[in-house]
Amino acid sequence: MLPLHRLRARAISHSLFPPSTLRAAIDRLGFVQADPIRSPARAQDLILRHRVTGYRAGGLERHYPSLNVEEDSLYAYGFVSRRVWRLIHPRKTTGLSALERKVFEVVRKFGRMHPRELESHLGRERVINAWGGYSKATTQALDDLHYRGLLRVARRENGIRTYEAAPPPADPLPSAERLRQLVLAIASILAPAPQKTLQANLARYRRLGSVRTVLSDMRCSGELESETVDGIAYVWPASAKVASDGPSMVRFLAPFDPLVWDRRRFEHFWNWPYRFEAYTPVAKRIRGYYAMPVLWRHQIIGWANANVAGGSLHVDVGFVDKRPREKDFRVELDAEIARMEWFLGEQQ
DSSP string across 265-284: HHHHHHSS-----TTS-GGG
Instruction: Give the domain ranges of the chain.
Output: 98-153, 250-347
Average pLDDT over every residue of 287-301: 96
What span, in angstroms and rounded, lies between the C-alpha atoms of 77 and 287? 25
Alpha helix (H) residue ranges in the chain: 4-15, 22-29, 43-48, 59-63, 82-88, 98-110, 115-122, 137-147, 175-189, 195-202, 211-221, 263-270, 327-344
Portion of the chain with pLDDT greater than 70, in percent: 93
List phi, psi (to 5°) of 330.
-60, -40
* Res 61 pLDDT > 60: yes
Label residue 241 by pLDDT band (50, 70, 90): low
Average pLDDT over every residue of 192-201: 96
Tens digit of each residue's pLDDT (9 = 90 or more) over 89-146: 988 878 899 989 999 999 999 999 998 888 787 755 554 444 344 347 888 899 999 9
Three-state SS string over 201-255 comes to: HHHHHHHHCCHHHHHHHHHHHCCEEEEEECCEEEEEECCCCCCCCCCCCEEECCC
What span, in angstroms and rounded, lies between the C-alpha atoms of 224 and 202? 15
pLDDT recorded at residue 108: 94
* Res 280 pLDDT > 70: yes
List phi, psi (to 5°) of 74.
-105, -85
Tens digit of each residue's pLDDT (9 = 90 or more) over 43-58: 999 999 999 999 999 9
* Res 236 pLDDT > 90: yes
Label residue 311 by pLDDT band (50, 70, 90): confident
Q: What is the mean pLDDT of the chain?
A: 91
Q: Which residues pair with 294 in a beta bridge?
A: 252, 302
Pairwise pLDDT comparison (120 vs 59), residue with the higher score: 59
pLDDT recorded at residue 169: 74
Average pLDDT over every residue of 262-266: 96
* Res 83 pLDDT > 90: yes
Do 224 and 307 touch, CB atoms closer than 8 A? no
pLDDT recorded at residue 159: 82
What span, in angstroms and rounded, lies between the C-alpha atoms of 37 and 138? 24
Long-range Cβ pairs for the range 173-176 (8 Å, 24+): 173/87, 175/207, 175/208, 175/209, 176/208, 176/209, 176/214
pLDDT recorded at residue 129: 44
pLDDT recorded at residue 133: 43
Pairwise pLDDT comparison (307 vs 239), residue with the higher score: 307
pLDDT recorded at residue 251: 98
Q: Which amino acid makes up residue 21?
A: T
The verdict on pTM exceeding 0.85 is yes
pLDDT recorded at residue 130: 45
Question: Phi-psi category of 311—alpha, beta or left, where left has phi over 0 and alpha has psi -120 to 50?
Answer: left
Q: How many CB atoms sit inside 10 A of residue 253's CB?
A: 23
**Residue closest to 182 by CA, chosen among 121, 91, 110, 301:** 91
**Residue 113 DSSP code:** B
Pairwise pLDDT comparison (125 vs 20), residue with the higher score: 20
Average pLDDT over every residue of 221-237: 95
pLDDT recorded at residue 128: 43
